Structures are given as C-alpha cells and as structure tokens.
C-alpha cells in the first residue's frame, strides 16, 4: 500500500514535468498544425543556460530564492529568444508550404541542436553528461512510517510551479485578448489575418511562450534528474510529445491529463516490472490509445474536406 502511494507520488511528479513540456507541443500544434520536433532540444538548450547561470551566480547565491528566480528567468527568457529565432528563420518561410516540409525542418533543427551541443568545440559543452548544480537543496519534506513514503521538497516545488504555470496558461488562452487571438489563428490563420489579427506576431509569441515554458520544465527535470546532457532533449521531448498526442494534440487540458497518465504508467512499469521496458511501454501505450481514439483522448479527428 505504502509502495503504491510512493509510486503514485513519483508518477505524478514526473507527469507534471512532462505536462509542462507537452503544453509547448500542444500550443504550437494548436496554432500552426506543426509538430515542433525541436521543442525538446530547445528545452535542453534552456537547461544549459540555467546550468551556466547557476555557475555564474556562485555557490552561495544559488540556493536563495532570488538565485532560483534568476536562474529560471535567464533560462526562460533565453529560450524564448531562441524560439523566436527558430520560428522567424526556419518555420515562417515555410508557412504556406506543405506541412511535411515544416516537419522535416523541425527534425533537422532538433538534430542540429542536440548533436551540435555534443561537440566540444568552443563554448559547446561536449557529449558527456554533467551534474546539474543544486539550485534547490533536496530535503525530505514528508516522511510517512518508517520511510515507507517519502515526499521530497523538489517534488512539491516542481508540482506547485507546474500547476501555477498551467493555470496561468489556461487563463492566458481563454481569458485574455492574446489568447483569443491565438485561438482565432488556430481556427483559421488566413481569416484571422483578414479580421485584423497580426498573425505573424501571435505565432511568434506563441513560439516564445512555448519555448520559455520548455526551459522552465527542463530546469525542473534537471533538478529531479540532477544531470544535464545534450541528448536529454530528444528523449524528454519525445516522451512529452507522446503525452501531448495521448491527450489529443492541440488540447490544453488534454496534454496535462496525457502527461500525468504517461508519468504514472511509466512509474508503475519501473516499479512493478522492469525499468528497461519503460520506453517501449510508453510508445505501446501511445499506439494503443491512437488505435482506439485516433485523435487522442480529448482530441477530435477533423472531418476531411473533399
């Protein structure tokens, strides 16, 4: 029983982080109908930005509340800028082209970033994983019984940050003029442009928002995992992407639910079966969901126009 509870907690903690990354996929897909394959790698770049700024701060400043805020701010703003650049120079020129071209471009950017960061030329970090500096010192926040169930402070903190970001995003999409514009662009960007919505600006801002979120999520992941490596983006990104698709890509609450479900499934596989099967189970679950509901759990399959 206690073991089950512990797995539930770990699964939810992992799921919330996946959810934040998945939200980025879902937002971009909602607005552009583009699977932004490079999203996970933008997240990885964000984690390295956080890594560099945490070191720049020094050991004492790092643990303070202000220090944490600074690390997050640098990573998120830096990634928002990166997202802007990628959108402007790689995706915008292809907006009126077939969707496949943009997908291939996204895969290309993903490879350029993840393998580019593996080179050890100049400032690039090289292939070997590095220990992420402890910006939040891990302590046990809640212990039940004889260490049957342990809840760590970083689990609570990342849960709170994640929930806060999610609520904020929900408000942004459904409660602000910018969100209204986003939804209009996602409905039909040509008509939206005719109605006077600056579609280019809305799409660019959506990209910046999703990349910034990715950086935040990446830092939470790095705190949990305590290491950074250039390939982390490929795998975390893939998982989050699976989560977004399970929930129905383009559907904001669906991404969160999908990510929580995926986090729990993975945790139970690791806990009760074998950890080496984790990735296969994640993808098997995805295929199963898609076969039963081709649009994901909450998504709708768009009727085809003839």
Note the residues at the interface with another protein (CB under 8 A).
33, 35, 90, 93-94, 97-105, 107-113, 115-116, 118-119, 127, 234, 238, 241-242, 245, 274, 276-277, 279-280, 283-284, 286-287, 290-291, 294, 302, 304-306
Q: 110 vs 206, which CB is nearer to another protein?
A: 110
In angstroms, what is the minimal distance from the CB of 281 to another protein?
A: 9
Alpha-carbon gap, residue 193 to 199, rounded angstroms: 6
How does 171-191 read in b/e, with b if 16+ C-beta sit within 10 Å?
eebeeeeebebbebbbeebee
Q: 61 vs 90, which CB is nearer to another protein?
A: 90
In angstroms, what is the minimal distance from the CB of 157 to another protein?
A: 31
Q: 157 vs 281, which CB is nearer to another protein?
A: 281
Q: 177 vs 305, which CB is nearer to another protein?
A: 305
Residue 64 neighbours by CB under 8 Å, 6+ apart: none
Beta strands in 198-257 (DSSP E): 227-228
In angstroms, what is the minimal distance from the CB of 232 to another protein?
A: 14
Q: 7 vs 92, which CB is nearer to another protein?
A: 92
Q: Say if CB 44 and CB 112 are below 8 A apart.
A: no
In angstroms, what is the minimal distance from the CB of 62 to another protein?
A: 31
In angstroms, what is the minimal distance from the CB of 34 to another protein?
A: 9
* 275 Rama sector, left if φ>0, alpha if ψ -120 to 50, beta otherwise: alpha
Q: Which helix H or strand E contains 7, and what residues bound it?
A: helix 2-32
In the three-class reduction of DSSP (H, G, I as helix; E, B as strand; rest coil), residue 29 is classed as: helix
In angstroms, what is the minimal distance from the CB of 262 to another protein?
A: 13
Residue 3 neighbours by CB under 8 Å, 6+ apart: 148, 271
Q: 109 vs 166, which CB is nearer to another protein?
A: 109
Burial class (CB in 10 A: 0-12, 13-18, 19+), 129: middle
Q: Say if CB 258 and CB 22 are below 8 A apart.
A: yes
């Amino acid at each position: 029983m206690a073991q089950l509870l512990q797995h539930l907690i770990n699964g939810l903690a992992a799921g919330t982080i996946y959810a934040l990354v998945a939200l980025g996929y879902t937002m971009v897909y909602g607005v552009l109908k583009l699977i932004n394959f490079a999203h996970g790698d933008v997240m990885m770049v964000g984690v390295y930005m956080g890594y560099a700024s945490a070191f720049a701060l020094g050991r004492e400043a790092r643990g303070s509340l202000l220090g944490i805020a600074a690390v997050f701010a640098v990573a998120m703003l830096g990634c928002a800028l990166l997202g802007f650049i990628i959108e402007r120079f790689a995706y915008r020129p292809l907006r009126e082209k077939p969707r496949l071209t943009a997908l291939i471009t996204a895969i290309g950017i993903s490879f350029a970033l993840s393998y580019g960061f593996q080179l050890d030329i100049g400032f690039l970090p090289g292939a070997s994983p590095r220990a992420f500096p402890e910006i939040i010192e891990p302590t046990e926040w809640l212990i039940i019984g004889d260490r049957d169930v342990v809840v760590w402070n970083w689990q609570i903190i990342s849960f709170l940050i994640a929930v806060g970001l999610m609520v904020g995003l929900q408000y942004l999409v459904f409660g602000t003029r910018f969100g209204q514009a986003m939804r209009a662009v996602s409905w039909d960007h040509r008509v939206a442009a005719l109605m006077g919505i600056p579609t280019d600006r809305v799409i660019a801002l959506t990209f910046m928002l999703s990349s910034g979120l990715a950086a935040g999520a990446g830092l939470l992941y790095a705190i949990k995992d305590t290491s950074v490596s250039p390939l982390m983006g490929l795998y975390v990104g893939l998982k989050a992407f699976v989560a977004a698709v399970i929930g129905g890509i383009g559907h904001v609450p669906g991404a969160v639910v999908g990510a929580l479900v995926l986090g729990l499934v993975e945790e139970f596989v690791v806990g009760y079966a074998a950890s080496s099967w984790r990735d296969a189970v994640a993808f098997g679950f995805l295929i199963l969901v898609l076969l039963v509901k081709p649009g994901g759990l909450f998504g709708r399959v768009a009727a085809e126009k003839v």
